[in-house]
Each structure stands twice: as structure tokens, then as C-alpha cells.
């Protein structure tokens, strides 16, 4: 029995040897005399050749029966022409060769081709028509070549609907051609999963695709991820809005509309972007928005997708601007996505903020004497904010760009007159800040403007007369008036000014009919008054008016006895001299102690001055050199001129200030008129206390408390 088994085994081995010999003979067929060829599967051919050796496919019998050829590591420098004899091939593997060039119509004979592998060659570019006719191609691997350029229309009308995997990684592409963008955004329902690998290139931008989103997208299941795009290890700094234009996404608003539609963007594709030098400025706000919106929808259960849907959040690290280097893109805040804008004026700041689509041109406090001739623009920005506050502008003049301004800030200038044409230009204005100027009259055309934001008119020199009587009704219609403007003549609120229009007409006629004999004398007198009016008014206020009997201000509206203006280097004198002298009897407003944190400084100063019984200005050499201090002085002086009871007490801290040249006119006027107290004088305490209000805010509060107790 054992002998029989041994004999059976030996016979079987002889049979196998014979079969092996037969196969060996078949491998050394005439077409494959110099290479190692196998076709264990009748429809497959595997070729292995050494350097300088090639197969002769012209001698291959029945070439149409083959569906797969594996010709890798065959030292090919070009694709054999006679390969077209195998016209029914569905799978071609030419990887790991030395192919450098592809011809137009190179694969036209392979109409049935489904898979093409050409990775690890030396191909430099893809010519037009190289893939023409490959309408059934599903996978194409061109990775690890030397591709620098893909000619236009290389993929046009070929396999853009059948493609499921395209690998062009590890090449030298500098951009993504529009044809690839069309393939990415033009799938059919038959191919639900697609993978496009463009990693490890030098890609910096994307050509805009020519196609729009495929109609089949709306039928996709909301629970399936459709396409994955790998852009890792490239040089992408921004995801341009054009990249998503085939989806109908043109800006942040259209992106939010897209989320609300019946199909979700996360269903369609996932983008891998880590290890790219992302610049976290306004150009990447949409990328940030997509990532954060996706995560928010996932958090509330409105999407059933992996977190990588739409945007892979891992490894998305900013490499610029410098202050955000190393920060995760999705740890940024909305307001940090900004871009400097080219063409900005000298000394100005021009910044575009993506989150509110606003271009802000800030030319404040740079010494302008007129409106800028022009300002820069930013493509697609619907909102422009122009800040020219704190300058020396005396005339509000017309500029072409005013028709595009949504927020205009001209506060703290010297504006006296306003062009009617300039007001008419403000067709988009939402907020207008005109406060703290010298405006006497407003053009009536301002009533046609539609303010849905705030408007500031206070702290001006409005003359309430026949020419401005229309303002009383107009101001009553303003819903967001920051503070009530007052009449320079009389001190009443503009909204409360009442004048009979008939009386105005008669007075105007009388003024015109004044005797001409007095005209010259009046003009001379007015001229002298006008020239010396600051000194005269100040002298009158200090020497005469304060001794006369006049109504006091309403102390019930005040919360401080004195607002103290000083330069920060003099704070020790304030702490050790002024405060111990006046408090606790009087309640002082010290900005380092009493100002709310974060409020707009000029508005806070103006508000504090208006809520104080008087104002104390501690003038030193540093004070005169500080623009902010002089601004405080100017505001306090205006209130003193408008409301004589709210006096301005000027304390000279340095004796030598009186002898030094002073460029600021207001400070000079006070010194010339002797309206000051010297801190180093022996009777300083007595003089200061004599100037302080007779009844303090604390006295008023105590009286109210006693009255409440009595009641």
C-alpha cells in the first residue's frame, strides 16, 4: 500500500514537470524571446524586461483577447506603438519605467480602458488630446512623475463623468487646471465616491472651472460623502472663492444660503489641506466659515457626517500673518480675518474685514486740512467706513467716493460749512458723526438721508435763527441721535427752539433796510469784535459775567462737581495735592479712576464734562504738548462759552509756562486774560476753593437723603 502511494506521488510529479515545461515553452514565445512574460490568466499578460530588451507585440497571437497588461519596471522610455494591437485592454500598468513623453492621441485605441497606472516615470507634461477617447476610464495614476504643466483641454470630453480616482501627487504642478476642477464638480449618480490626490506638489492657486454644479447633486443621499480632494503638502495660502463658484457660492451670504438648501455641501466633498502655508487673513474667511459652520451643524445633529466633511480641520495651521503664526485656523475669531488694502493714503490705515465685508479707511489724527481726494476700494466690499476725525478740516466738501460711504466720522475737526452736493452724495450713509466741530448751519438736504444708525450733532456752534428753524422738526424724527445739540445763541436745545416764520421774514427785511450811513461803522466794529472776540468773550465771562446775577445750572442733572483734565505725568500732583484739597466735599471726575473701560474716549470726555458743575484744567509743559489734553481743554472751553455757570478753572502747574511761547490759542487767551490760578502761589488753596461751586453734588445728595428720611 505504501509502495502504491509513492508510485502515485512520483507519477503526479512527472505530470507537473511536463506541465511546467509546456508553460515554459509558451513563455518563450517568439513575441517574448528577450523578456520574462507570463499569462497564467488567459486574459492577462505580465512582462519583465531587462535594460535594452523589449517584447515584439506584433507577433502576439489573438491580441484582442487580452484585458490586462502589467509592464512595470521594464525600462521603457516611451510607450510601445504596437501596444495598440491589444485594443480591448481594460487595465494598463506602465509604472516604474523611464517614460518621459506622452503623445497626443496616445491612448485613443483603448476605448475600453478602465484603469491606467503610470506612476514613477519621468513624464514632464500632458499634451492636448493625450487621453482622448478614454470615456470609460475610472482610475488614472500619474503620481511620482515630473509633471510641470497640464495643457488646456487635456481632459475635455474624455472621462470627466466616469472618473473615480485621479492621482497626480508627488509632481511639480503649480496650480490646479480648470479641467480638473470640472471633473471634481461634475459627477454622475453612478459614481458616488471619488478621490483626487494632488498632494505633494507646488500648488498655489486654482483655475476657475467652467462647469456649474451637476443637476444630479440634488438627488444624492444626505448621509453619503461624495468626493475627497487631497491638497496636503502643497503651497496653498488661500482657498479662493472661485474654487467654490461651481456650487453657486460667491460670498459668505451665498454660502449660508447654500447650507439652507435641500442638499448639504458636506455631502459632496471633503478637502484635505493640512501642511500648507495658510495665510489667515480675509481671503481665508470663507474657508474658516465653512469649517466652523460644518462643526456647528454636526454639533446640533443637522448633519450625519464625519467631522472631516467639507474641510479636514486637522493640521490647518496659520503661517501668516506673523502674529497668528502657529495658530489653528479654526481658533481664530471673525474679526481677525482682515487684509491691508493697497493704495492707502500716507499715514492712513486701510483694512478690509471679511466677517462684515467692510473696508475701513482710518485717517484720523494725521493733520488733514481737507477731505482726501480719493480713497482705495476693495473688490466686492459693500460697506466703506471713512474715519477722518481729529484733524484740522474746516470745510465738508464734495468727493466722488462719498456715494459709497456707509459710515462717516468727521468729529473733532474745525468744520464750519458743509457743501450741499456733499450731503446729496451720501446715498448709502447709515452712520454720520459730525459732533465736536464748528458747524453753524446744516444744509436742509440732510433731511433726505435715511439713517438706520446713529448720528452725532452735539458740541457744535449751531445758530438758531430763521435759517435753521427747520432743524427743530427734523431732529425730533431722529431715532438714534447720540446727544442733543444746543443753540450757540441762548444755550437751548435745538429741538426746543421756537420762532415765528413771519417774524423771521420781517426781521430779515429790516436788517436789509438798515441805514447805509451806519454800515461802515458797524462793519468796522464787527470786524474788531470778530478779530478779538475770543479775548473779549473770555474776559467778559471771567471779569464781568461771573459777578452778575445769573441763573445757575440745574445741579440735579450733574453727577460730578468738577471734571479734572491733566496730563498723565502730572498724576502725582493730582493724587497728593488736588484730591486731598477738594475731596470729599466735592466729587471729582478723574479719568484714570472714573472713566468706564472700553468706551470711546472723546465721547466719554464730552459726557463727563457735560455732567460736571465746572471743569479744572491742570496745565503743565507736558499738557500743552499733548493733543488729547488740548482736546479736553477745547471741549471744556466750549461748554464754558455755552454755559457760563459751568466755568473752566485753569491751574498753571509750572511757573515758566507764562514766559514760554505757546502755540495753542485757547491756552494763550486764558494766560493773556489772567484767567488762571498758579499752583505755587501762597493763596492757591483759597483761590481754588473760592472758584468751586457753592453747593456740591454731595450736599445735594445729603439733602435728598434727609428729605427722604423726613418723608
pLDDT in tens, 446-488: 888 887 778 888 999 888 888 888 888 888 888 888 788 888 8
The residues with which 650 forms a beta bridge, in sequence order, are 617
Q: Where are the domains of the chain?
A: 32-172, 341-502, 555-701
- Residue 295, SS3? helix
Using the 8-state DSSP alphabet, how is residue 317 labeled?
A: B
What pLDDT band is residue 249 in, cutting at 50, 70 and 90? low
Which residue did the predictor score with more confidence, 510 or 619? 619
Alpha carbon distance 360, 350 (integer Å): 6
pLDDT in tens, 569-590: 999 999 998 899 988 889 999 9
Cα dihedral across residues 39, 44, 50, 56: positive or negative: positive
Residue 705's pLDDT is 61
What pLDDT band is residue 120 in, cutting at 50, 70 and 90? very high
The residues with which 270 forms a beta bridge, in sequence order, are 228, 310
For domain 341-502, give the CATH superfamily. Answer: Ribonuclease Inhibitor (3.80.10.10)
Of the options 1.10.3430.10, 3.30.450.20, 1.10.10.10, 3.80.10.10, the CATH number for the domain spanning 32-172? 3.80.10.10
Q: Which helix (H) or strand (E) holds 605?
A: helix 601-610
Which residue did the predictor score with more confidence, 695 or 407? 407
Alpha carbon distance 460, 635 (integer Å): 10
pLDDT for 519 beyond 80:
no
Residue 33's pLDDT is 73
What pLDDT band is residue 176 in, cutting at 50, 70 and 90? confident
Residue spans of beta strands (DSSP E) within 286-435: 310-311, 318-320, 338-340, 349-353, 358-362, 383-387, 395-396, 407-409, 417-418, 431-433
Q: How far is CA 150 from CA 126, 141, 185, 198, 256, in A?
A: 5, 14, 18, 13, 34
pLDDT in tens, 288-328: 887 777 677 666 666 555 544 455 566 788 888 888 888 88
Alpha carbon distance 353, 229 (integer Å): 29
Owner of C-alpha cell 504738548: 625
Alpha carbon distance 171, 174 (integer Å): 9
All three cell numbers of 154:
487635456
| Mean pLDDT of the region 552-559 | 74
pLDDT for 24 beyond 80:
no
How far, rounded to the nearest angstrom, does the alpha carbon of residue 281 sit from its chain's CA centroid?
7
% of the chain residues with pLDDT over 90: 18
Asked whether 202 and 234 are in contact (CB, 8 A), the reply is yes
Q: How far is CA 527 from CA 121, 387, 438, 461, 578, in A?
A: 93, 36, 19, 19, 41
pLDDT for 26 beyond 90:
no
Query: What 3 state SS string does 114-138 have?
Result: CEEECCCCCCCEECCCCCCCCCCCC
Using the 8-state DSSP alphabet, how is residue 328 labeled?
A: B
Q: How far is CA 60 from CA 29, 42, 215, 231, in A?
A: 8, 13, 46, 43
pLDDT in tens, 686-704: 988 988 888 888 888 777 7
Using the 8-state DSSP alphabet, how is residue 544 labeled?
A: I
What pLDDT band is residue 367 in, cutting at 50, 70 and 90? very high
Q: Which helix (H) or strand (E) holds 16?
A: helix 2-27
| Mean pLDDT of the region 546-553 | 50
| Mean pLDDT of the region 26-31 | 55
Residue spans of beta strands (DSSP E) within 104-190: 115-117, 125-126, 139-141, 149-150, 165-167, 175-176
Q: Say which residues have a Cβ less than 8 Å from residue 21's Cβ, sequence separation at least 6.
A: none
Asked whether 479 and 453 are in contact (CB, 8 A), the reply is no
Alpha carbon distance 205, 175 (integer Å): 5
Q: Which helix (H) or strand (E) holds 527?
A: helix 519-539
Which residue did the predictor score with more confidence, 550 or 385? 385
Which residue did the predictor score with more confidence, 223 or 472? 472
| Mean pLDDT of the region 180-195 | 61
What pLDDT band is residue 245 in, cutting at 50, 70 and 90? low
Residue 305's pLDDT is 53
Residue 438's pLDDT is 93
Comparing 32-172 with 341-502, is the CATH topology the same? yes
Which residue did the predictor score with more confidence, 254 or 275? 275
Alpha carbon distance 384, 360 (integer Å): 6
Residue 200's pLDDT is 94
Using the 8-state DSSP alphabet, how is residue 552 labeled?
A: P
Residue 242's pLDDT is 59
Interior/surface letters 396-422, b for 16+ CB within 10 angstroms, e for the rest: beebebbebbbbbbbbbbebbebbeeb
Alpha carbon distance 132, 155 (integer Å): 7
Q: How far is CA 472 from CA 360, 393, 451, 640, in A?
A: 33, 27, 17, 24
- Residue 262, SS3? coil
Q: Say which residues have a Cβ less than 8 Å from residue 647's Cβ, sequence separation at least 6.
A: 541, 546, 614, 615, 640, 691
| Mean pLDDT of the region 163-192 | 74
% of the chain residues with pLDDT over 70: 75
The listed range with the strongest mean pLDDT (34-48, 390-404, 492-506) is: 390-404
The CATH number of the domain covering residues in 555-701: 3.40.50.10140
Residue 215's pLDDT is 40
R_g over Cα of the chain: 42
Average per-residue pLDDT for the chain: 78
* C-alpha dihedral (210, 216, 217, 221), degrees to nearest 10: -160
Angle, nearest 10°, between helix axes 519-539 and 665-672?
Answer: 80
Q: Say which residues have a Cβ less than 8 Å from residue 595's Cβ, sequence separation at least 6.
A: 601, 604, 608
Amino acid at each position: 500500500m505504501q509502495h502504491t502511494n509513492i508510485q502515485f506521488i512520483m507519477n503526479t510529479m512527472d505530470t507537473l514537470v511536463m506541465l511546467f515545461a509546456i508553460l515554459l515553452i509558451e513563455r518563450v514565445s517568439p513575441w517574448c524571446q528577450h523578456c520574462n512574460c507570463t499569462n497564467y490568466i488567459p486574459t492577462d499578460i505580465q512582462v519583465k524586461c531587462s535594460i535594452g530588451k523589449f517584447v515584439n507585440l506584433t507577433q502576439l497571437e489573438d491580441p484582442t483577447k487580452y484585458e490586462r497588461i502589467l509592464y512595470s519596471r521594464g525600462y521603457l522610455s516611451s510607450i510601445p506603438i504596437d501596444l495598440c494591437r491589444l485594443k480591448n485592454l481594460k487595465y494598463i500598468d506602465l509604472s516604474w519605467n523611464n517614460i518621459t513623453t506622452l503623445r497626443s492621441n496616445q491612448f485613443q485605441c483603448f476605448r475600453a480602458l478602465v484603469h491606467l497606472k503610470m506612476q514613477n516615470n519621468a513624464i514632464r507634461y500632458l499634451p492636448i488630446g493625450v487621453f482622448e477617447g478614454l470615456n470609460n476610464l475610472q482610475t488614472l495614476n500619474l503620481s511620482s512623475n515630473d509633471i510641470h504643466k497640464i495643457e488646456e483641454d487635456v481632459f475635455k470630453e474624455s472621462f470627466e463623468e466616469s472618473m473615480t480616482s485621479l492621482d497626480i501627487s508627488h509632481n511639480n504642478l503649480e496650480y490646479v487646471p480648470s479641467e480638473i476642477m470640472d471633473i471634481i464638480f461634475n459627477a454622475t449618480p453612478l459614481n458616488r465616491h471619488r478621490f483626487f490626490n494632488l498632494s505633494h506638489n507646488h500648488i498655489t492657486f486654482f483655475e476657475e472651472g467652467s462647469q456649474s454644479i451637476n443637476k444630479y447633486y440634488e438627488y444624492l443621499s444626505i448621509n453619503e460623502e461624495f468626493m475627497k480632494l487631497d491638497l496636503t503638502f502643497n503651497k496653498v495660502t488661500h482657498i479662493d472663492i472661485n474654487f467654490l463658484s461651481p456650487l453657486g457660492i460667491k460670498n459668505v451670504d451665498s454660502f449660508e444660503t447654500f447650507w439652507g438648501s435641500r442638499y448639504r455641501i458636506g455631502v459632496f466633498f471633503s478637502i484635505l489641506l493640512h501642511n500648507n502655508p495658510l495665510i489667515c487673513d480675509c481671503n481665508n474667511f470663507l474657508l474658516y466659515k465653512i469649517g466652523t459652520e460644518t462643526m456647528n451643524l454636526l454639533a446640533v445633529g443637522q448633519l450625519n457626517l464625519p467631522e472631516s466633511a467639507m474641510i479636514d480641520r486637522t493640521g490647518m495651521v496659520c503661517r501668516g500673518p506673523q502674529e497668528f503664526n502657529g495658530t489653528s485656523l479654526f481658533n481664530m475669531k471673525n474679526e481677525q480675518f482682515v487684509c491691508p488694502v493697497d493704495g492707502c493714503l500716507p499715514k492712513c490705515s486701510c483694512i478690509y474685514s471679511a466677517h462684515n465685508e467692510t473696508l475701513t479707511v482710518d485717517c484720523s489724527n494725521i493733520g488733514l486740512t481737507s477731505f482726501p481726494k480719493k480713497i482705495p476700494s476693495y473688490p466686492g466690499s459693500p460697506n466703506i467706513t471713512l474715519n477722518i476725525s481729529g484733524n484740522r478740516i474746516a470745510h465738508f466738501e464734495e468727493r466722488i467716493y462719498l456715494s459709497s460711504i456707509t459710515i462717516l466720522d468727521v468729529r473733532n475737526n474745525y468744520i464750519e460749512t458743509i457743501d450741499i452736493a456733499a450731503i446729496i452724495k451720501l446715498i448709502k450713509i447709515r452712520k454720520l458723526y459730525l459732533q465736536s466741530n464748528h458747524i453753524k448751519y446744516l444744509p436742509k438736504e440732510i433731511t433726505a438721508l435715511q439713517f438706520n444708525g446713529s448720528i452725532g450733532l452735539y458740541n457744535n456752534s449751531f445758530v438758531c435763527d430763521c435759517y435753521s428753524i427747520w432743524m427743530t422738526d427734523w431732529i425730533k424724527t431722529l431715532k438714534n441721535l447720540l446727544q442733543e445739540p444746543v443753540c450757540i445763541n441762548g444755550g437751548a436745545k435745538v429741538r426746543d427752539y421756537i420762532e415765528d416764520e413771519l417774524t423771521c421774514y420781517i426781521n430779515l427785511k429790516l436788517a436789509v433796510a438798515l441805514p447805509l450811513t451806519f454800515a461802515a461803522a458797524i462793519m468796522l466794529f464787527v470786524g474788531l469784535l470778530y478779530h478779538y472776540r475770543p479775548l473779549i468773550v473770555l474776559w467778559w465771562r471771567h471779569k464781568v459775567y461771573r459777578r452778575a446775577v445769573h441763573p445757575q445750572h440745574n445741579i440735579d442733572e450733574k453727577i460730578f462737581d468738577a471734571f479734572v483734565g491733566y496730563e498723565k505725568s502730572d498724576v502725582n500732583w493730582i493724587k497728593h495735592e488736588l484730591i486731598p484739597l477738594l475731596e470729599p466735599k466735592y466729587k471729582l471726575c478723574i479719568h484714570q479712576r472714573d472713566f468706564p473701560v472700553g468706551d470711546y474716549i472723546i465721547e466719554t470726555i464730552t459726557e463727563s464734562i457735560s455732567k460736571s458743575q465746572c471743569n479744572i484744567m491742570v496745565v503743565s509743559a507736558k499738557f500743552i504738548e499733548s493733543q488729547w489734553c488740548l482736546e479736553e481743554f477745547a471741549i471744556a472751553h466750549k461748554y464754558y462759552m455755552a454755559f457760563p455757570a459751568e466755568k473752566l478753572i485753569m491751574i498753571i502747574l509750572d511757573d515758566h509756562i507764562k514766559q514760554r511761547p505757546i502755540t495753542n490759542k485757547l491756552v494763550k487767551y486764558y494766560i493773556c486774560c489772567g484767567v488762571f490760578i498758579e499752583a505755587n502761589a501762597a493763596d492757591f488753596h483759597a483761590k481754588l476753593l473760592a472758584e468751586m461751586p457753592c453747593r456740591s453734588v454731595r450736599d445735594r445728595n445729603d439733602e435728598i437723603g434727609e428729605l427722604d428720611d423726613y418723608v
